[in-house]
């Protein structure tokens, strides 16, 4: 890559540009912090007990529900306690979402995007029978039926969404040890994940079949309270998120078109870094594409998976870009031919590839399978959890390898910069300016990247530590989690936006590049002096047209003067 806009921009213009971009960044942060609600809301639903009609037990089109016309007659806890068999095999646990509030029937909106259900189990043993300590990883078999109903449907018109008999493993601790009964409280278990919250009401019917021949659920005394926590994305957050995406999308597309036109105006073929920048912009555009609008009218259960993939592609691209960028600024031109990913960087990028593939496999085996069966989770079985953990571990190791390697590359670049610094004064002017440009570009990106990475990390840690909220004063409070999400999203957009502008090739014909007569005059001198050094230039990778180079160097010198 020859001279870029970054080198040729005057200090004042650069500061204006950086300042306005920083302003945009602050706006993104405030948009999430002040305007958006928390990213996710939740509803805690306590299971109601209904007595089963055995004739319809296997009928998956029949549902028991606790509110509305035709609701089941509920069994009270006392009745269960009094029954000598604790009504075994007769009870259905019913969860109807969402709950009514403020004397109104609430319904889910499609803006709420997705629904994740986790279950908390409490059960008790009769201490009289035997005093047993429940083993860890207690297997629980649950017959789960998820149904939906839309606004305007009659109260009984529940339709089956998914049905499954699943195993979950429970880790429990004794909450109360008494003479008559020992109570156990268990860690929450994942129950279901819906990628599309397409319907208004949801209903979950849970049964815990007791079966002696199959040894099913026998080690449980009897169930006490079951609490389902249904987590959804908040509609307001979706609004803000989509707003941000719709706003950023055209800007990034526009700047990409501008960038590519500029590259094509040159008389040389695009350099590797220019390709990388374009790819990066493409990945960002894919991420920015507001596909979520479609989910408001079409049921898209694959939305969760898709957004994971989109983010994954973007981050993979970003990591690759940093590596290539560091590699291209080694200041050693070992091969005269143009470098490509395949010829130089495939080894460097293997860590990124391995990490991404392992995360992708993990995602497919979790969220991919959930497309078929929303009750599935890879974490529920001990083996699955181990497999999932190993994929994540692999991704973590490759991330560590990547960062070590990146650090190594960057330190090497800095070492080269130091070496070149000492020999700079002895070089010819054009060559010196070329190197100075490279060093400047590299340092600028390093600074910007470090800033962005540091902001991301501190934002993440702050979000984790302060439990998501931060109070400015009495009236103003900042939703840290939302601010973190929109801030980081906006930040990477702005980062890439800035890269596309600043690292676009510049040339003197460009009318926006103001330069005084004085510099134009001095150009000619340099053209003359540069001609004598043509041999040296031929080694430079992007050397194509001596006059173009010389004009660029004049700009760099102008920067140096200012």
What residues between 322 and 361 interact with another protein by CB under 8 A?
A: 359
Our CB check for another protein shows the closer of 38 and 160 to be 38
CA-closest candidate to residue 171, choices 184, 187, 182: 187
Which residues sit opposite 512 in a β-bridge?
A: none
Q: For residue 138, give the DSSP letter.
A: E
Cα–Cα nearest to 303, from 198, 227, 377, 404: 198
Nearer to another protein, 367 or 508 (CB): 367
Q: Please report whether residue 369 would count as binding another protein according to CB under 8 A.
A: no
H or E, element range at 384? helix 382-423
Q: Which of 12, 70, 102, 516 binds another protein (CB under 8 A)?
A: 102
Where in 454-513 is the site for another protein (CB under 8 A)? Answer: 460, 463-464, 467-469, 471, 477, 479, 481, 484-485
Work out which of 111, 158, 161, 192 binds another protein, going by CB under 8 A: 111
In whole angstroms, how far apart are CA 198 and each of 308, 366, 420? 20, 21, 61
Nearer to another protein, 123 or 322 (CB): 123
CB of 256 to another protein, least distance (A): 24
Write out the H or E segment, with its range, that includes residue 59: none
Binding of another protein by 407 (CB under 8 A): no
Q: Does the protein bind another protein through residue 150 (CB under 8 A)?
A: no
Restricting to residues 39-98, name those near another protein by CB under 8 A: 39-48, 52, 54, 57-58, 66-67, 71, 73-74, 76, 78-79, 84-85, 88-90, 96, 98
Helix axes 272-288, 480-502, angle to 10 degrees: 150
Instruction: Select 125 or 555, whichever has its Cβ closest to another protein.
Output: 125
Q: In the bound complex, what is the minimum distance in angstroms from residue 236's beta carbon to another protein?
A: 4
Contacts of another protein in 188-217 (CB under 8 A):
188, 209-214, 216
What distance in Å separates the CA atoms of residue 190 and residue 229, rounded to the nearest whole number?
10
Torsion of CA 363, 369, 371, 372, to 10 degrees: 170
- Choosing from 285, 307, 380, 544, the residue that interacts with another protein (CB under 8 A) is 307
Shortest Å, Cβ 298 to another protein: 19
Instruction: For the segment 241-300, give every residue that binds another protein (CB under 8 A).
Output: none
**Residues contacting 555, CB < 8 A, separation 6+:** 3, 7, 8, 506, 508, 513, 515, 519
Stretch that binds another protein, among 113-121, 284-292, 417-425, 501-509 (CB under 8 A): 113-121
Q: What does the alpha-carbon distance between residue 335 and residue 333 come to, in Å, rounded to a whole number?
A: 6
CB of 239 to another protein, least distance (A): 8
Adjacent-strand bridge partners of 478: 470
- Which one of 196, 231, 330, 527 is in contact with another protein (CB under 8 A)? 231
Contact 292, 266 (CB under 8 A): no
Compute CA 264 distance to the chain's CA centroid, rounded to the nearest angstrom: 33
**Residue 397 contacts another protein per CB under 8 A:** no
99/540 with CB nearer another protein: 99
Using alpha carbons, select from 486, 82, 504, 446 the residue that is nearest to residue 277.
504
Q: Which stretch binds another protein (CB under 8 A): 230-238, 263-271, 346-354, 499-507?
A: 230-238
CA dihedral of residues 550, 552, 553, 556 (deg, nearest 10):
170
- Residues that contact another protein, how many (by CB under 8 A): 95
Closest CA to 127 of 66, 58, 177: 177
**Residues 167 to 186: which contact another protein by CB under 8 A?**
175-176, 178, 181, 183, 185
């Amino acid at each position: 890559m020859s001279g870029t806009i970054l080198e040729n921009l005057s200090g004042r213009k650069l500061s204006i540009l950086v300042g306005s971009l920083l302003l945009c960044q602050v706006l993104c942060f405030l948009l999430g912090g002040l305007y958006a609600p928390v990213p996710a809301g939740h509803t805690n639903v306590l299971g109601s007990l209904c007595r089963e009609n055995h004739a319809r037990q296997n009928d998956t089109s029949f549902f028991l529900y606790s509110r509305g016309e035709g609701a089941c007659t509920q069994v009270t806890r006392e009745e269960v306690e009094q029954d000598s068999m604790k009504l075994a095999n007769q009870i259905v646990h019913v969860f109807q979402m969402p709950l009514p509030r403020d004397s109104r029937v609430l319904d889910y909106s499609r803006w709420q995007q997705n629904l994740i259900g986790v279950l908390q189990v409490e059960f008790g043993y009769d201490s009289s029978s035997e005093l047993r300590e429940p083993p860890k990883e207690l297997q629980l078999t649950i017959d789960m039926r998820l149904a939906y109903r839309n606004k305007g449907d009659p109260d009984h018109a529940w339709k089956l969404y998914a049905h499954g008999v699943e195993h979950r493993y429970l880790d429990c601790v004794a909450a109360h040890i008494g003479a008559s009964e020992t109570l156990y409280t268990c860690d929450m278990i994942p129950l279901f994940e819906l990628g599309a919250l397409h319907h208004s009401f949801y209903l979950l019917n849970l049964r815990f079949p007791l079966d002696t021949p199959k040894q099913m659920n026998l080690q449980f005394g009897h169930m006490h309270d079951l609490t389902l926590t249904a987590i959804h994305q908040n509609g307001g957050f979706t609004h803000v998120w989509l707003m941000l995406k719709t706003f950023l999308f055209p800007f990034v597309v526009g700047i990409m078109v501008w960038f590519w036109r500029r590259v094509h105006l040159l008389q040389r073929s695009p350099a590797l870094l220019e390709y990388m920048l374009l790819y990066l912009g493409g990945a960002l555009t894919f991420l920015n594409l507001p596909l979520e609008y479609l989910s408001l009218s079409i049921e898209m259960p694959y939305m969760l998976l898709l957004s994971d993939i989109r983010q994954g592609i973007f981050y993979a691209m970003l990591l690759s870009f940093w590596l290539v960028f560091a590699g291209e600024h080694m200041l050693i031109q070992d091969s005269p031919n143009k470098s490509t990913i395949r010829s130089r960087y495939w080894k460097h990028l293997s860590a990124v590839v391995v990490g991404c593939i392992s995360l992708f496999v993990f995602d497919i085996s979790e969220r991919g399978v959930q497309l078929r069966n929303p009750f599935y989770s890879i974490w529920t079985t001990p083996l699955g959890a181990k497999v999932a953990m190993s994929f994540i571990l692999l991704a973590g190791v490759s991330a560590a390898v990547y960062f070590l390697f990146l650090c190594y590359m960057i330190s090497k670049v800095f070492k080269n910069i130091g070496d070149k610094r000492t020999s700079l004064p002895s070089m010819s002017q054009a060559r010196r300016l070329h190197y100075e440009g490279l060093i400047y570009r590299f340092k600028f990106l390093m600074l910007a990247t470090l800033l962005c990475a540091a902001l991301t990390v501190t934002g993440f840690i702050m979000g984790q530590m302060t439990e998501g909220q931060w109070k400015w004063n009495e009236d103003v409070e900042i939703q840290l989690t939302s601010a973190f999400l929109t801030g980081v999203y906006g930040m990477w957009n702005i980062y890439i936006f800035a890269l596309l502008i600043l690292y676009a090739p510049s040339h003197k014909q460009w009318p926006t590049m103001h330069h005084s007569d004085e510099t134009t005059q001095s150009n000619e001198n340099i053209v003359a002096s540069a001609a004598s050094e043509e041999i040296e230039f031929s080694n430079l990778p992007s050397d194509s047209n001596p006059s173009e180079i010389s004009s660029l160097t004049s700009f760099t010198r102008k920067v140096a003067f200012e």
